[in-house]
Structure formats: structure tokens, C-alpha cells
Structure 1
Amino acid sequence: MLRLSGLLLLSLLFVGCTSQQINQTLQTVLNGGLSSTEIGNGLKEALRIGARDGAEELARPGGYFDDLTYRILLPEEVRKVTDRLQAVPGFGNIEEVILKKINQGAEDAASKAAPIFVNAIRSMTIQDAVGILKGENDAATQYLNRTTAEALTAEFAPVINTSLDKYDANKVWLDAATAYNNFPLTRQKVDTDLGAYVTQQALNGLFKKVALKELDIRQNVSARTTDLLRRVFAQQDPGA
């Protein structure tokens, strides 16, 4: 089996080669009887599983809020507002209410996340697959983040805002921020839009969850739930 340095050199040699030539070369040099197509399919399957399972876990009630690792906290400027409003009638528990609602919004949006990854996974090249297989423990997640971040944010933001509206988070924050901005001594006004912040935090949590799923597949043989996953990821096990 080629070591990582050899694989990196091999990937450089692929520049200018046809797809057929790359397939033939990889099939010749990679041990384990795996074709380049099988390697690519195995990596795509791992990404699909990680994205699907990660999104499903975060989409459950409490998926974000009940786990401190993924819970979306209020930004500092929001906490300043909620701290000041606690003494105002009707706003005594405003921080708790907003915190719960933005996490509910993220959980609702996470249920729409997995299909957004599909196009990036489909477009994975042979070079991507080889690099991911012998890369860092989160190489597949990094690839997914790198190739989907911009499009995912554009797709996810409306879902987040719809979800925040669904749970009245936007309205609650708008009321709180407006009340704060109307205080006579308030010099620095706060943004009344929570959507962009919650979107970024929700995506950070999603990619963190996918990375854990990828690590599990890489390190835990029992997490390789299909024959293809077992055969492909055996290539990066110690001693392979």
C-alpha cells in the first residue's frame, strides 16, 4: 500500500491524464482489490451517512439545546440586552425564552440540511477520494465544508429564518431589541436580526456532528455498516 507521500505524488502525476487513465493507474497501484470507482463510491457513502445521521440527530427535539456541545448560545450583544431587560416587566425571563427558541429554530432547520449536501457529494473526483481516504480524520467533512459552505449558507438561511418565525424567536428578539434600543440612555443600538448569527452557529454544529460521524467510521469498524465502507476504509487502518 502506498503511503501518504506516495499518494500525494501520485495525485500530482494525474494532472493532464484522462479519466480512463487515472482509473487504470489507481486500480493498478492501490492494494486491496479496490477500483478507483469503488473508493470514490465508498467515500461518497461515508459522507452521505455522516450528513444524514448528523442532521437527523440535531433535528430531533432538543438536538441542539439539550447538548451543551451543540447548544447555540446568545451572542454577547444579545446577552447585554437581555441582562438589562430582566428588570423590565414582561422581559424577566427573556434570555431563557430566546435561547430556547433559537435552538428550536436550528433543530427545525437541520431536518432540511442533508439533501443540500447531495450535489457536492456527487461531484467528488477520484483525486478528492484518494486525498480524503488518506487525509486527516475529518478530511471528508473538510471537503464537504469547503465545497458547500457558500451554497449551504444561502440555502440554509431562509430555512433558519422560517424556523425562527415558526417558533416566534424573531418576534421575541425584535421586541426585546426594540425595547432596548428605545431606552433613553442607549448609545449603541443592537441589530434586530438574529438570522445570520443563528444560521452560522447551526451550520458550525452540523459540521461538527458530521466530523464525529466521519471519525467513527474511520476508527470504529462496527460503524462501517456496509461491505463497501468496510473494504474502502480498511485501506486507511493502521498497518494497511
Structure 2
Amino acid sequence: MYKLILPLLLLVGISTTAQDESSKKEGGFLKKAGGVLNKVKGGSNGSPLSNDEIIAGLKEALSVGASNSSQKLSALDGFFANAAIKVLMPPEAKKVESTLRAAGLGSMVDKAILSMNRAAEDASKSAAPIFIDAIKSMSFQDAFSILKGSDTAATSYLKGRTTTALTTAFKPVIEEALVKTDATKYWKDVFETYNKLPTTFKKINTDLSGYVTEKALSGLSFQV
């Protein structure tokens, strides 16, 4: 009975609040999964669930949450329409943006921003398998540490186990996506135009793929 009840509670608990919570706060899916597990880990009528049942339930909840997060971010406007994770011009390029907008070239900046977000959305498709691999390799100790930890324990675990792999996997995907979405072209247009202005004394040259990769990973961490 518990083997049936646990997955159902997990999936219902996650699906009913996933869209609302994940767009509002960090750890939307995984926090909800942990909360549901904490409610049911005592079993029904005081009968405790076995360790295997608890671990299986946790892994299922985390897998669903990670997959949903990856799917949500890889959808059209997954990054662009989410103010919390939208990829904007990097700090060192803020002067570039304000200067070009003041010169009536705001559309050029807008195209660059949109294309960076499209690249991040495209790359997010590859995140779920990496998250799920980390979840599958979770030990009993890892699982119980998550259950006994804070609301962000699961997110911290996944960040610790996947950041290197995600960075390695994302960089080439981001670079390909930047070309596919014309971000490279728009980025080049923005900075070449700025650097040629007579009022420009210090030229700007930002690592586009490195910046978008960093922002995409940050967005994934926030969403998960």
C-alpha cells in the first residue's frame, strides 16, 4: 500500500503547485518534493516506511522535479519571460546598453538580449539527464541528509554534484545555440557599434559563451 501511496502523493504534491511555486521562489520543485516526503515518511497510521521506500520516493520526486524544471526552462520564453532568471546584458556592458539606447539603437540591444535567452532555453534541454544521473547515484546517506536538511538541501546536493558536468555539457551547447539564434551576430553588432563611437574611450569585449553559460546554470539552479 505504501509503495502505491508514496509515489501518488509525491506526484500530486509536485504537480499541483509546480507552475506557481517554481516561478516565484528558488527550489520550487525540490522544496515541494521534500515537503511531501516529510509528510509521508512516517507512513500511514504511524507505520513507518522502509528505507528503500523512502529513498525510492525521494529519487522519484527529485527526478520529476528536475525533469519538469528542465522542460519549463527549455520552452519558449522559459528564460526570457521570467524576470527572476532572464539573461540581461552583463554588468560591464551596462554602459554599452545605455549609450546605444540613447543613440536610438535600442532595437539592436533588444535583439542581443532576446537571442541570449533563446540560447539559454535551447541549452536547458540537456540539463535533465545530468540531474537524473546525479539523483540515481545518490546514496542512502545523501538521501537522509536531504530529508533531514533545510528546504534547499536537495538543490544544494544537485548543485554540488552537477555543476562541473553541467558546465562541461552546456558550454558547447550554448556556443552552438548562440550561433543558431544569431546571438553571436547581434552581440558582435552591439559591441562593434559601441566600440566605434567617438565617445568610447575603453573598448568592451565580453566572453559571450562564458557569460550565457553562467547565467543559464544560475537560472537552472534557481528554478530547480
TM-score > 0.5 by shorter chain:
yes
CA distance in 2, matches of 1:68, 1:32: 44
CA distance in 1, matches of 2:69, 2:51: 27
CA distance in 1, matches of 2:199, 2:108: 20
Find the partner of 2:221 among 180, 203, 207.
207
Aligned residue in 2 for 1:114 = 128
The normalised TM-score by structure 2 is 0.73
Contact residue 82 and residue 94 of structure 1 kept, 8 A: no
Q: Does 1:169 align with 2:183?
A: yes
Aligned residue in 2 for 1:73 = 88
| Residues 42-93 of structure 1: per-residue CA shift (max 9 Å, x gap) | 222122111100111111111111121221221122231132234668x441
- Cα displacement (A) at 1:165: 1.1
Aligned residue in 1 for 2:204 = 190
The normalised TM-score by structure 1 is 0.68
Query: Equivalent residues in 2 for 1:1-240 (5 A)?
Result: 32-86=47-101, 91-210=105-224
The one-letter code matched in structure 2 to 1:197 is: Y
Of Structure 1 and Structure 2, the greater helix share is in 2
- Cα displacement (A) at 1:180: 2.4
Long gaps (5+) in structure 1: 1-30, 211-240
Displaced runs of 4 or more, over 4 A: none
Contact residue 146 and residue 153 of structure 2 kept, 8 A: yes
- Cα displacement (A) at 1:185: 4.9
Question: Alignment RMSD, CA only?
Answer: 2.0
CA distance in 2, matches of 1:126, 1:36: 8
Contact residue 79 and residue 95 of structure 1 kept, 8 A: no
User: Between Structure 1 and Structure 2, whose CA radius of gyration is higher?
Assistant: 1
CA distance in 2, matches of 1:54, 1:117: 10
The one-letter code matched in structure 1 to 2:66 is: A
Long gaps (5+) in structure 2: 1-45
Aligned residues: 179
| Residues 164-221 of structure 1: per-residue CA shift (max 9 Å, x gap) | 11110111102221232344553332224311111111111111111xxxxxxxxxxx
